[in-house]
Structures are given as C-alpha cells and as structure tokens.
Structure 1
Amino acid sequence: MSQRALWAWLFGRTARIGWLHLVVGGALLMPFYLLATVAIGPLTGENSPFLSVPGQFYAFVAVLPLVAVFGLLAPARPLSVATIRSLGLASGRADGFPEGPARTRAARVRTSGWFTLHLALGGLVSGASLALTPFAGVLVALPFVPALRNSDWGVRELEGKPWLVALMPLAGILAMLLLAAASAGASALLARWAPLLLGPTPADRLAAAERRAADLAVRNRLARELHDSVGHALSAVTLQAGAARKVLDSGRADDVEFVREALAAIEDTTRRTVGELDAVLGVLRRGEDAPEDGTGPTLESLDGLLARSGVPVTRTGDDDLAKVPEAVSREAYRIVQEGLSNALRHGGAHPVSLHLAVTADRELEIVLENPLPEHPAPVRPGGGRGLRGMAERAVLLGGRTEAGPHASDGVWRLTARLPLADHPDTGPR
C-alpha cells in the first residue's frame, strides 16, 4: 500500500464518515451503557457513578445482550438502514437494503447481529476517541510545557530523562495513528457486513420478485388493453376512411349514402375507443396498486363490435352466452376484437366467419376465419404483438390459442379455447 493510499485509508473522506458512523453507534450505546452501570455498580461494590476500569469493562460486556434484544425489535432495521444511507457508509449498495422493518425471524436475527456489532464497535471507538485524544495532546505538548511534567497526569517520573520526554510527541502521534487505524478498520468491517446482515433475506427477495411480477402483470394487461382497443379502432377507421375517399374520388353521386355510413362508423368507433382509452388511463392515474375493477366490454357488446368492425362478419354458434363468466367474457371479447383487427389489417374487407360456442368440456370455443390475402400486408415495425397478447389472455384463464394459415382451406384460422371454470384470480362467478 502506498503512502497516499495509507493516508487516504486512515484520514480520507471514507475514514471520516466511518468514524462519524461509529460515533453515532457509541451515542446509541450510551443509554444502554448507563442502565448497565446502575446494575453493575452494586454488584462490584462501587457506589460512585463513575466505575473503575474493571467495572466499566463489566458494564460494557453486560450491555451487549441488552443491545442484541433491542436489535430483534422491528424498528432496528429501518434505524440502521437510515443511518447507513444518510452517512453513505455502504455507498453503491445501500439502495439494495429493504425499506421496512424486519418481519421474519431470520431478518430480525441478522439485524440484531448488525445492531450489536455497530454499537459495540462504536462504543469502543468513541470511548477511545474521548480518552486518547486529550492524552495524545498532552504527550505532544509535554516537551514544550514544563508544567505538564509536574501535573497530576502521572508523568513526574520523566523528570531527569530528557531523551524520554523528547520521545513523548512521537508516542502521542502514534496513539492517534493507532486510533485512526482502529476506526478505519472498524468502519471497513461494518461496511463489509452491512449488506450481509441488513441486506434482503430470501423472504425479502421473494417478496420483491412477487412485486415485480405483479407490476409486470399490470403493465402487460394495460398494454394488451391499449393494443386491442386502439389497434382495432385504428384499423377499422383506416379502412372506412380509405373506402370513403375512393367513393368520393369516383364522383358518383349515388354513393353518398355509403360515405355517410362510413363517416358515421368512424365517428362511433373513435368515440367508443376514446372511452376505453380513458378507462385504461384512469387505471394508470390511480397507480399500479389500484385494484382491478372488473370493467370492460364483454360478449354482450359483441353485436356492436361486429357491426363496426369494418368487415362483413358471419356469426354462428350459441346466441345466448350469458352463462359465460364475466372474466372469460371480457377476455373473449378482446380476443375476437384482435382477431377482427388482424383480419381487417391483413385481409382487407373480405368476409369473416366467427363461431362462438360452449363445448361439452365447459370451454368457450372461438373460431375466426378470414380468406388468405393474395398480397400479404407488410409487417409493421414493432408489430406482431396481437397474437402474443391473445395467447397471454387465454393462458391467464387456463386456456390456449392457435393461429395460422390453412392453405388447404385458403383461410387464416384463429382458434381459442377458454375454460369456464372459476379462476383464483377472478373469484367465483
């Protein structure tokens, strides 16, 4: 270690902050220590409030179990973490410390170990700082102040030994260096053990992972809602607007009614989509921890969706889907909506067939078919999330989806099967 590195280790900013952290530990130890002196005094036969050196040692040893018991209490970890962060003892690692109190037994035991270590080392370094600093000052001044050699400091024996008196400043400086080394070593030990004793336990890591998973689920859900609702609306509006423009360009007066219907469909679609967008943004404004309110279009609104889809749809299967649970009905609506968006985007205004039925296995079966386009539409940059979103919706309900071209039939077929049984995330219906 170079001289500069040694000096930085002994007296650098990190060393000074570490010493201050130890002094805080010593200050926290004082109430426990004073309580211990009250109990140790009668046991050692010392009636003075200032115990002898052995009595102080006994009090220090006796106070450590009391500190350890206090460290088991829940507020000990937030207090320790706040001290570390405010002083920057474990710089770069303090952000990984848990915020709240220690809840599990393992976390409390680890916190108690840290709290005891901090206060014990802090008490030793603080006591040494209070005792050695003035003593070292006396030793440094001893050759230059003759009166000190005749004082009650216990150094009268140095009279007549000038060579020994001359060495006293070196002894004082050495004492301060040893104190600085002890402080730097203690603070380095605390910085090393802080992440191990105050860092997250396996239970804390599991809780953090669950929070991240819940956050990701919320974001994915909102992303699917925005993709399916807004994506479908934009596809339908684009097709309707394009068809109306072509009619106007043709200049045929008898097609004015078609343009009027197209504009009405655009108006209705955009108004409905703005409402759905407001609902999703409302969830974002409430925060990610806002409970799921269970709102959203269901299969009861399917007729309106088919009428505004922008493509002719032939529907078969069950007309009465009231027995479908609400959670399944909402996801089924979004799957049909995204399927129609894909058909409109890639197949144009060609007819689409939709089959909805409840099977004997108590599954809602959705089959949507549209003709394969002669010239497939180019894939949009960043696109391709619709099929994945539909699959995610089905998996969350315990179902499955299949989608792809069937060249033998000349169609693109989307199939989804959603169980009607109750789900833990939705509750009984």
Structure 2
Amino acid sequence: MTGVLGLLLGGRARRRWVHLILGGALAMPYVLVGSVVVGPLTGVDNVFGSLPLQLGAFALGLPIAALTSLFPLTRPLESAAVRALCGIGGDAGGELAHGPARTRAERARTAAWFTLHLGLGGIVSGMSLAVPPFAVVVIVLPLFAGLRDSPLVLPEVFDRPWALALAPVAGLAMLLAVAAFAAACGALLAHWAPALLGPTPADRLAAAEARAADLAVRNRLARELHDSVGHALSAVTLQASAARRLLDSDPEFVREALAAIEDTTRRTVGELDAVLGLLRDGDAPGTAPAPTLASDLEGLLRRTRVGGQRVTATVDADPEALPPLVSREAYRIVQEGLSNALKHAGEPVALRITSADGRLEVTVENPLGPAAPTTRPGGGHGLRGIADRVRLLGGTAEAGPSGDMWRLHVRLPLRGSA
C-alpha cells in the first residue's frame, strides 16, 4: 500500500503533476482562441457553459499550439522543464535538447511533444480543478444532511442508505483515480521525452562518429607529443651528459653538443607549439611543419650522434619520392626507435630504410648488452604508438629481442598512402 501511494503521491509523481498543470496553463490561451471559433459556429455565447463545447474548443486549440511550438525557444524550454520536473536524469537527461530545432524532423517531434504536453496537461488540469472539490463533498456527505439535497451530488443516487454509507469510499476512489491518471500521464510524458525532445538514432550515430573522430585526432596528437618531446628529452639528456664529461678535455665536442641541444630544443618547441595550438579550442594551428624523412632524416641522425651515440644508417630509398603521409609516419617511427635505443640499450645502433615491392621497410637494431633486460619497462607507450601508426597505414610492426639484439622492424605499404 505504501509503495502504491508513493507511486501516486511521491515526490516524483507530484513534480510530474506540476509539469502537467503547467501544460494545462499553457493550453488555456489556445482554448480561448478555440472558443472564439466554436462560439460563432454553434451560435452559443457562453462556450464554457457546455462541456462538449469546451472539449471542442480544446480540440481546436491543440493544432494551433502545434504551430506555435515552432518558435525556437519552445524546444529548449520544454527540455529544461522535463529535466527539472519529470525526473529525467542520467544519460536520458543529457540527451534532451539544449538548443532550438534545426531540422524538419526535429521541428515535427517538437510539435508532437508540445501537443502531447498541452493535451494531457489540459485534461489533468481540468480533472484537478473539478474532481477534488466534488470528491470532498461526497466524502463528508454522511455528516451533513443539507448537502444531500444539492443537485451537485446527484441526490437520486445517495438517497439510499447503502449508497450514503459508501459515499466516503466513492470520494476517496475519485481522488485516487485523479492521482493515478496524473501519475500515468506523467510517466507517459517522461517515457516519450527522450524520443521527442532528444536526438534521433541518426543524430546519435553522427555524434558518436564526431566523438570518435575527435578522439582519434587527440590520440594522434598525443603520439606526436610523446615521440617528439620524448625523443628530444632523451637526446638532450645524452648530449648534456656527454658535454659535462668532456667539458675540460674536448671543448670542440662540447660546443657541438650545446649547438645540438639548442637545435633540438628549438625544433621541439616549434612542434610542441603546433600540437598545442590544435588542442586549444579556437586557436589557429602552429606554423611548424611536421618533420618527414625527406626534410629531417639527416638532422635527426646528426642530433642523435652528437650525444655520443654511434648510429649507422643505410638508406636504400628515395625520401623525396615517398608519399607525404608515409614519410611523416616513418620519420616518427625512426625517431621513436632511436629514442628507445638512447634510453634503454647499448650501441652501436643500426638503422636501415629500404623500399621494395611497394613497401617501405624500417629496421632499427641495437645490442641488448649483458645486463640489458629482454623487455623494456616504461617503453610500452612508444611501442604502442608505433603500432598505432603502422596499423592506421595498413602495415605491420615487430619489436622484441632477436638473439643478443633488440630489433624493431616495420613494413609500410606505399600504394594508397598518398
């Protein structure tokens, strides 16, 4: 019994009832417009003196309400009212409209919702005004004999003793019926609100695709930051360490190391500015171009060697002839491979870049060393980034120990990558 009363008169049910009453209040101007039309058509001066004519004016006003629902603020205002009063929360509440209807389908669904809200609200409002006073009179009828002769209580019904004894029960049943009808109408509106005020399946699919595209862009930018900044920090650390050790014995080497540090940091700051410019909403992208094998392979090798790392490079491919996308991604793969060698492994490092059979192959090898681990703690992000780049281009990547060497081998297709 308590659960039933909670459903009929609980806090959520009362808020939905208020929402329906607001709908009835919004329906009144349209009913008045309908009465102006119904009165002359029927020749009746007082339309509100007849229940059938009132219903006719109400039915005539609803199409007018549907037309006025095309006003831009109708949809966001109705959505706000639903969130506040209908108990629509969580994902469903977030799906409700925040702005005006823009497409024909959205305007049609808004008109359907507004008509449903005002229609049910008008009925519930009329019942809420008329039934409770009558029900109260019926409940107290056995206590006040004078009320039994009133035409409002149908004296021919309550002139029998058994009917009079059941009058309080009948009055309570009327009140419960009004509450049950209001609760049912409120639940119906809450059920239909996401469908009529929210996005269509096509809208949800488009939003999901937009979120996926945004996430893909941000993941790509994260990979760029990891590869660019991570390699720069590794190279600068190695160069600074070598310069410190040889500060007194080899000033020329120190000058070269400091120049390499300056060049590395300048280029990295430019790349960092470009990436952060894309991440800041409303900012224009930075002007630093993305490095490629054609534009900066030699510079990358030079900056790596300045720190004392021995790197041998065999390039059996024309970087200028590579598709720009492959050249850019291959540069990042080489950069990450050299960065891993700087951080984790011994030297020398062997780099091979070859092009044959419509594929670009990049191989980076370096000795594990007697105490080097076969797996590299902390190196998973870089290898995962390489795997992501290769997968997006439709290639393959292998990384791991091979005998006493650590080997990174990547194959990238050249056809269809432009």
* TM-score, normalising length: structure 2: 0.79
Q: How do 1:204-283 and structure 2 match up within 5 A?
A: 204-244=203-243, 253-283=248-278
| Structure 1, unaligned runs of 5 or more | 424-429
Please name the residue that 2:118 is paired with.
119
- Deviations for 1:221-277, whole angstroms, at most 9, x for unmatched residues? 1210111012112222333344445557xxxx5345444544443444334333333
| Aligned residue pair count | 410
1:191 aligns with 2:190: yes
Q: Distance in 1 between matches of 2:188 and 2:85?
A: 16
Q: Which is worse superposed, 226-235 or 263-272?
A: 263-272
C-alpha separation between the residues in 1 aligned to 2:233 and 2:288? 25
Classify the secondary structure of the residue corresponding to 1:286: coil
Cα distance, 1:174 vs. partner? 4.2
Partner of 1:306 in structure 2?
Answer: 301
Structure 2 counterpart of 1:426: none
Aligned to 1:12: 10
Cα distance in 2, alignment partners of residues 264 and 87 from structure 1: 67
CA distances 1:20-53 after superposition (whole Å, capped 9, x unpaired): 1111221232333333223322333323353511
1:84 is displaced (CA, Å) by 0.8
Q: Encode CA deviations 1:320-362: one digit per residue, 9 max, x unaligned.
A: 74454544443332222112212323433414334365x674x
Contact 2:310 2:349 in 1 (8 A): yes
Contact 2:139 2:168 in 1 (8 A): yes
Deviation at 1:308, TM superposition (A): 0.9
Q: CA contact under 8 A between 1:372 and 1:405: conserved in structure 2? A: no
Change (3 A) 1:74 1:297: same
Aligned pair in 2 of structure 1 residues 22, 175: CA closer, same or farther (>3 Å)? same
Contact 1:41 1:51 in 2 (8 A): no
Counterpart mapping for 1:382-421 below 5 A? 382-396=378-392, 398-404=393-399, 407=402, 412-417=407-412, 419=414
Match of 2:52 among 47, 54, 61: 54
For 1:81 and 1:291, how far apart are their aligned partners in 2?
Answer: 37
Distance 1:407 1:11 in 2: 73
Structure 2 equivalent of residue 43 of structure 1: 41
In 2: Cα distance, 1:400 partner to 1:20 partner: 61
Aligned residues of 1:37 and 1:51 also touching (Cα < 8 A): no
Aligned to 1:28: 26
Instruction: Please tell me whether residue 330 in structure 1 is matched to residue 346 in structure 2.
Output: no
Give the distance between the partners of 2:78 and 2:284, measured in 1 at CA.
Answer: 32
* Structure 2 CA distance for aligned equivalents of residues 312 and 138 of structure 1: 101
Structure 1 Cα separation of the partners of residues 133 and 109 of structure 2: 37
- Distance in 1, matches of 2:288 and 2:41, equals 69
Note the alpha carbon deviations across 1:296-334, whole angstroms, 9 max, x for none: 333313322221124344444479744545444433322
1:427 aligns with: none
The CA deviation at 1:217 is 0.6
State the alpha-carbon separation in 2 of the partners of residues 180 and 356 from structure 1: 79
Residue pair 2:12, 2:85 contacting (<8 A) in 1 also: no
Q: Distance in 2 between matches of 1:312 and 1:422?
A: 32
- Amino acid in the other structure paired with 1:403: E
Aligned-pair CA distance for 1:119: 2.0
- Partner SS state of residue 254, structure 1: coil
Q: Per the alignment, do residues 381 and 134 of structure 1 end up closer, same or farther by CA in structure 2, a change over 3 Å counting?
A: farther
Tell me the C-alpha RMSD between the 2 structures. Answer: 4.0
In structure 2, how many angstroms separate the alpha carbons of the residues matched to 1:390 and 1:59? 71
Q: Counterpart of 2:211 in structure 1: which amino acid?
A: R
User: Which amino acid counterpart does residue 128 of structure 1 have in structure 2?
Assistant: M
**Matching residue's letter, 1:131:** A
Deviations 1:36-83 (A, max 9, x none): 223322333323353511112223334444555666887654343222
The answer to whether the 8 Å contact 2:76/2:100 transfers is yes
Contact 2:326 2:412 in 1 (8 A): no
SS in 1 for 2:45: coil
AA aligned to 2:267 is R
Change (3 A) 1:293 1:214: farther
Give the letter for the 1:118 counterpart.
H
Secondary structure class of the residue paired with 2:249 = helix
- What is the TM-score when the length of structure 1 is the normalising length? 0.77
Gaps spanning 5+ residues in structure 2: where? Answer: none
Counterpart Cα distance in 1 of 2:270 and 2:202: 42
Alignment partner for residue 296 of structure 1, among 290, 300, 316?
A: 290
Would the alpha carbon gap of residues 420 and 382 (structure 1) be closer, same or farther in structure 2, given more than 3 Å must change?
Answer: same
- Structure 1 residues 420 and 146, CA, compared in 2 at 3 Å: closer, same or farther? same
**Shift in CA distance, 10/399, structure 1 to aligned 2, threshold 3 Å:** closer
TM-aligned CA deviation for residue 415 of structure 1:
3.0
Q: Is the 8 A contact 2:390 2:397 kept in 1?
A: no
2:274 alignment partner AA: A
Residue 330 to residue 61, structure 1, CA distance change in 2 (3 Å) = same
User: What is the aligned partner in structure 1 of residue 129 from structure 2?
Assistant: 130
Range with bigger deviation, 213-222 or 107-116: 107-116
Secondary structure of the structure 2 residue equivalent to 1:353:
strand
- State whether residues 274 and 285 of structure 2, in contact with CA within 8 Å, keep that contact through their aligned partners in structure 1: no
Q: Counterpart of 1:89?
A: 87
Cα distance in 2, alignment partners of residues 210 and 267 from structure 1 = 42
Provide the rounded CA distance (Å) in 2 between the counterparts of 1:319 and 1:118: 70
Q: Residue 367 of structure 2 aligns to which amino acid in structure 1?
A: L
Shifted more, 386-395 versus 204-213: the winner is: 386-395
Identify the range of structure 1 (311-320 vs 199-208) with the bigger mean alpha-carbon deviation.
311-320
CA 1:410–1:328 in 2, change beyond 3 Å: closer, same or farther?
A: closer
